[in-house]
């Protein structure tokens, strides 16, 4: 397998390199880009002329190599060396309530014979990410790793975009299914956030809508903790996510971000589901905490002493909340990945509204928030 990563600051710059990318003869192209590019029909047209199989999404920041950018295009071109191949599927997501059904519909069209892994991109607003994954799980084997993320729009939470071979829209989910006995996937995920305050019981919730904690309106409790930060909700919610605890009050390693607030019902809309049998505790993080989290995420892969002498691709999905906390130090978490990988590893990815990955190669896929996730793709010759 050969992979090539490029960054472009404009569509014209991409178009000027289109012929060189065609000569590379990619099996798949993935584009992570500013939302502005996806509303220009020439963007999809340019990519489809380079490779029939192209996917992508809008972002809250683009990752290319060991750098983090904004308002550009991070492009990944992959060419397989063996008989490995892909199949791209997409399905509409009409609204948040249809998240489970959309996932089930998407999975029902995926051929599971010889399936090695899935890379999934979905809208970042008006979606229940955990229900989407539950729908996917109804037709997929537990030993198939799923990774990817929810699209972004630089923290505006207004409109995100997903691209597939048939076009671009704001209400589609797309999945790249990978096949081939020579392909291998490694996954890892870690946050770095610290919990504070008491654990509070979820006393009223429906799917990803949180209504009450300890019998009190969830929004009232959340505002009490945030103080002056409450004036900037829902954006400031990215700085104070929830840690999910199980029925015994023990950490599950799952974090939930606040995507919206409803003043009328005093509720919080989360990026994924919480259940009335669970507990929640607020979290915060320092820049050093998050860099340490990135170190632990990559260590989950590098500790396996993998042979990375052949070309490999690391697709990174990190949360926009981490980007807000890190500020001008944001590239340090990507540099940490670059420094720890020893070998021919290309790095690309995006900052998202939800990260999709198993924990440390455990096969069960989770929707994460405020987390850095890595999918390492290799092909043995």
Percentage of the residues of the chain whose pLDDT score is greater than 70 = 98
Do 211 and 265 touch, CB atoms closer than 8 A? yes
Cα distances (angstroms) measured from residue 308 to each of 1, 25, 322: 12, 23, 28
Q: Give pLDDT, residue 82.
A: 81
pLDDT given at position 118:
96
> pLDDT tens digits for 277-292?
899 999 998 899 999 9
Can you give the pLDDT at residue 222? 94
Residues pairing with 28 in the sheet: 78
pLDDT digits (tens, 9 = 90+) for 162-207: 999 999 999 999 999 999 999 999 999 988 899 999 999 999 999 8
How would DSSP label each residue in 71-119? Answer: SSEEEEEEE-SSS-EEEEEEEE--SGGGHHHHHHHHHHTS--TTEEEEE
Maximum Cα–Cα distance for the chain, whole Å?
Answer: 62
- pLDDT at residue 368 above 80? yes
The predicted structure's pLDDT at residue 362: 60
CA distance 232 to 229: 6
Distinct helix (H) and strand (E) counts, the chain: 10, 26
Q: What is the pLDDT of residues 284-341, one digit of tens each?
A: 988 999 999 999 888 888 777 776 666 899 999 999 999 999 999 999 999 999 988 8
Distance (Å, whole) CA 19 – CA 40? 20
Write the pLDDT tens digit of every residue in 222-237: 999 988 999 988 888 8
pLDDT recorded at residue 310: 67
**Residue 160: is its pLDDT beyond 90?**
yes
Which of 251-255, 342-346, 359-363, 372-376 holds the top average pLDDT?
A: 372-376
358 pLDDT band, cuts 50/70/90, is confident
Give the mean pLDDT of 248-275: 90
- Triad 38, 103, 203: Cα angle to 5°: 105
C-alpha distances (whole Å) from 194 to each of 223, 229, 265, 293, 322 are 19, 18, 29, 11, 13
Give residue 372's Cα distance to chain centre. 9
* 333-339, long-range: CB < 8 A, 24+ apart: 333/290, 333/291, 333/293, 333/294, 333/372, 334/63, 334/66, 334/67, 334/68, 334/294, 335/66, 336/291, 336/294, 336/295, 336/298, 337/66, 337/294, 337/297, 337/298, 337/374, 338/65, 338/66
**pLDDT at 361 > cutoff 60:** no
pLDDT (0 to 100) of residue 304: 73
Give the pLDDT of residue 65.
Answer: 94
pLDDT at 309: 64
The per-residue pLDDT for 151 is 97
pTM of the model: 0.92
State the pLDDT confidence band at 343, using cuts at 50, 70 and 90.
confident
Which residue has tokens 């729908």?
A: 135
Average pLDDT over residues 91-99: 95
* pLDDT > 70? residue 363: no
Q: Cβ distance 149 to 350 under 8 Å?
A: yes
The model's confidence at residue 272, banded by pLDDT at 50, 70 and 90, is confident
Q: Which of 253, 256, 369 is nearest to 319 (CA)?
A: 369
pLDDT at 252 exceeding the cut of 90: no
Q: What pLDDT, on a 0 to 100 scale, did the predictor assign at position 331?
A: 95
Q: Does pLDDT of 44 surpass 90?
A: yes
Side-chain-side CA neighbours of 315 within 13 Å: the count stands at 28
Task: Return the closest-CA partner of residue 273 out of 129, 68, 74.
Answer: 129
Give the model's confidence band at 141: pLDDT under 50 very low, under 70 low, under 90 confident, else very high: confident
pLDDT of 193:
92
At a CB cut-off of 8 Å and minimum separation 6, what does 264 contact? none
């Amino acid at each position: 397998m050969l992979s090539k990563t490029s960054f472009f600051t404009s569509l014209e710059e991409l178009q000027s390199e289109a012929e060189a990318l065609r000569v590379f003869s990619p099996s798949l192209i993935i584009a992570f880009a500013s939302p502005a590019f996806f509303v220009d029909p020439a963007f999809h047209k340019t990519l489809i002329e380079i490779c029939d199989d192209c996917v992508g999404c809008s972002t809250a920041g683009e990752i290319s190599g060991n750098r983090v950018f904004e308002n550009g295009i991070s492009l990944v071109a992959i060419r397989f060396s063996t008989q490995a191949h892909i199949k791209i599927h997409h399905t509409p997501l009409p609204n948040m309530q249809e998240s489970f059904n959309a996932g089930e519909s998407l999975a029902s069209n995926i051929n599971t014979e010889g399936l090695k892994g899935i890379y999934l991109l979905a809208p970042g607003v008006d979606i229940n990410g955990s229900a989407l994954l539950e729908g996917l799980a109804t037709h997929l084997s537990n030993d198939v790793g799923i990774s990817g993320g929810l699209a972004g729009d630089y923290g505006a939470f207004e409109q995100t975009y997903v691209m597939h071979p048939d076009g671009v829209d704001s209400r589609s989910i797309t999945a790249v299914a990978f096949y081939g006995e020579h392909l291998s996937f490694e996954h890892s995920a870690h946050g770095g956030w610290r919990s504070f305050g008491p654990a509070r019981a979820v006393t009223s919730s429906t799917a990803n809508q949180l209504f009450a904690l300890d019998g009190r309106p969830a929004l009232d409790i959340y505002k009490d903790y945030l103080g002056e930060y409450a004036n900037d909700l829902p954006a400031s919610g990215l700085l104070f996510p929830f840690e999910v605890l199980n029925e015994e009050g023990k950490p599950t390693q799952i974090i939930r971000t606040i995507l919206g607030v409803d003043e009328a019902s005093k509720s919080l809309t989360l990026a994924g589901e919480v259940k009335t049998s669970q507990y929640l505790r607020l979290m915060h993080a320092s820049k050093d905490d998050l860099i340490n989290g990135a170190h632990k995420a990559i260590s989950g892969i590098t500790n396996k002493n993998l042979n990375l002498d052949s070309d490999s691709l690391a697709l990174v999905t990190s949360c926009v909340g981490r980007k807000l906390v890190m500020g001008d130090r944001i590239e340090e978490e990507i540099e940490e990945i670059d420094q720890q990988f020893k070998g021919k590893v290309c790095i690309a990815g995006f900052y998202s509204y939800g990260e999709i990955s198993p924990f440390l190669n455990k096969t069960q896929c989770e929707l994460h928030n405020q987390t850095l996730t890595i999918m390492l793709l290799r092909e043995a010759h």
